[in-house]
Amino acid sequence: MKRREFIATVSGGITALSVAPCWAGMLHRSGQNNTGYVYDERYLDYSNNPESPGRLIAIENRMKETGLSQEVAPLSLITDPLPYIRKVHSEDHIALIQDIGITGTVAELAVAGVLGAAQAVCEGQVVNAFCAIRPPGHHAVDGGNGEGFCYYNNIAIAARYIQSEYSFNKILIVDWDYHHGNSTQDCFYEDPNVLYFSTHNWHDYPETGDPALKGAGAGAGSNINVHLDPGTTDDTMKKAWEENLLSAVDAFKPEFVLISAGFDGMKNDKLGKFFLTEACFAELTEIVAAIANQYCNGRLVSMLEGGYSGEDLAKAVTAHIATLIRETSNVDYITGTTKSRTAYIHAGTLYLSSSIQDITGIIIYDVSGAVLKKIPSGKIHKNRVHLSELYLSSGSCFIEIQTAGRRPEILTFRCLE
């Protein structure tokens, strides 16, 4: 099943991309913050260049600048993560990590944050959550040191926590980091209850993730590695997901979704060699959230892995979070010629419902929130406006309909697919 068919099935034929941060405040259902957010200033207490505190500082700054920080529910860390760390890592490994001082302490706090998010989602406090944590975790093998900046495998520990404490046994782990999650693969290679899906360049660090490795024993077929070459673009990434993930999910039917959200595939990243944009990560988020909505009542926790480009990292993370927020909202969306309550697009013309009165203007934005075009009321005739191919060519846009005396209405659409 292709991505557009899958999401159309889940959403009743109405699909959308991420919601630009400038209107995130309009997204809530009954005024509730349905997306949780984990962050703790103690995550800044050590440095391991290029996995530096600046990564989280950039994210936090953009969260505040865009207003997204007001659209998420702050989540607490659990008190004692060690019993759950022990479900994945050996006592020798834990002792050695604890001996390295503040870095080891912060690594425990990262696990505590992820488990706090998992707890909040499992107990229905929020629908989904993003964890702005460091250090990352998907390379953390039992060697007593920091493998690939990782000390404990946050996502593997979260999976075991969810299975043991809440009995959601079938876990889908999606890993879109540029680098393969070797530790995550090792943890679940023979486990039929965890489907691990990873897109990466397996010829780069840690030189694992051979597509021929598909799981073993009872877990045969539950490990999906997709190699992508340096220079991979948005379209190639999305095609890899369409061809390899959706059919596997249909057969697996997960009960909970976890994301190893590495953003080192961004085109300007210091360590990655893909050429992805924040719009791509918004679309990948849409796909995974649609899976969670279909099979798991929305249950999804995403956690930061790689991404070392500062500003670009922050843009990708906020596009990801904005999409998570949108996936819990009841905003109307339109795509192609499919009608929503208030609008549809056909042959390059936007048709607005006659119920929308006193239109004073329309603003069109791209996925990052940049203004593409301002259309004054004089250009809007009988609630119709022609949309130039110039602003449709990106494949996704956001429309802000301004009306006299009312809060602007936001619509999203995708075109030229």
3-state secondary structure (DSSP) of residue 36: strand
Contact in structure between 116 and 78 (CB atoms under 8 Å): yes
Instruction: Look at the alpha carbons of 108, 111, 116, 119 in this order and tell me if their dihedral is positive or negative.
Output: negative
**Helix, strand, coil share of the chain (percent; to 5):** 35, 20, 45
Torsion of CA 267, 270, 272, 274, to 10 degrees: 20
Burial tier of 30 (Cβ tally within 10 Å: 0-12, 13-18, 19+): exposed
Q: Pick the closest to residue 405 from 374, 362, 360, 342 (CA basis).
A: 360
Q: Helices 102-122 and 91-98 sit at what angle, rounded to 10 degrees?
A: 120
Among 139, 179, 180, 200, the active-site one is 139
Structure tokens at 61: 């700054």
Q: Give the bridge partners for 36, in sequence order.
A: 73, 129
Question: What does the alpha-carbon distance between residue 256 and residue 168 come to, in Å, rounded to a whole number?
Answer: 7
Per the rule left: phi > 0, alpha: psi between -120 and 50, beta: everything else, 28 is: beta
Give CA–CA dist 331/165, Å, rounded: 34
180 assigned to active site: no
Tell me whether residue 389 is exposed, middle or buried, using C-beta atoms within 10 angstroms of its C-beta: 0 to 12, 13 to 18, 19 or more.
exposed
d(CA 326, CA 96): 42
Strand partners, 38: 131
* Ramachandran quadrant class, 184 (left: phi over 0; alpha: psi -120 to 50; beta: rest): alpha
Task: Give the HSE-up count for residue 321: Cα atoms under 13 Å, Cβ half-sphere.
Answer: 35
In degrees rounded to 5, what are phi and psi of residue 29?
Answer: -95, 120
Upper half-sphere CA count for residue 64 (Cβ side, 13 Å): 6
What DSSP string runs through 340-369? Answer: -SSEEEETTEEEE-TT--SEEEEEEE-TTS
| Structure token digits, residue 135 | 């250090």
- The pair of three-digit structure tokens given for residue 148, joined into one six-digit string: 């690939």
Q: Could you give the residue numbers annotated as active site? A: 139
